[in-house]
């Protein structure tokens, strides 16, 4: 027998887990291509979910949907390049983060 799995959108929370190393003492994700031939050097990314406040990483920093509703709910994400050193040039920047979704 098949059943239906129903989620209440208001019970869904998520947090951000950096895959890329963070610059010490900051929320800046380092550039994984920092030392590669095509890399932009010491320029990483800083993430925000509202365009103003930096995202805090880890399981102790849960976020929830602002206006949860049935169907699709978007996770807002603003990305800004940020320097974390003086070795900067034109080139590629790659930083990664994992979004972990939890249903309570």
Does pLDDT of 87 surpass 90? yes
DSSP sequence for 9-26: GGGEEEEEEESSPBPTTS
Residue 9 scores a pLDDT above 80: no
Whether pLDDT at 1 is above 70:
no
For residue 15, the domain's CATH number is 2.60.40.1090
Kind of pairing between the strands at 12-18 and 97-103: antiparallel
* Overall number of domains in the chain: 1
CA R_g for the chain: 17
Average pLDDT over residues 69-81: 86
Looking at the domain assignment, is residue 74 inside a domain? yes
* 37-68 residue pLDDT tens: 999 999 999 999 999 999 999 999 999 887 77
39 beta partners: 92
Residue 2 belongs to a domain: no
| Residue 3 lies inside a defined structural domain of this protein | no
| Residue numbers of the domain that contains 54 | 9-103
Higher-confidence residue of 35 and 64: namely 35
Model-wide pTM > 0.95: no
């Amino acid at each position: 027998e098949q059943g239906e799995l129903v989620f209440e959108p208001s019970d869904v929370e998520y947090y951000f887990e950096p895959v890329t190393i963070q610059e010490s003492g900051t929320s800046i994700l380092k550039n994984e291509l920092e030392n590669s031939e095509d890399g932009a050097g010491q320029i990483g990314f800083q993430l925000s979910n509202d365009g103003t406040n930096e995202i805090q990483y880890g399981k102790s920093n849960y976020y929830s949907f602002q206006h949860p509703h049935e169907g699709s709910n978007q996770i807002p994400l603003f990305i800004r390049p940020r320097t974390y050193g003086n070795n900067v040039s034109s080139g590629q920047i790659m930083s990664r983060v994992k979004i972990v979704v939890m249903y309570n």
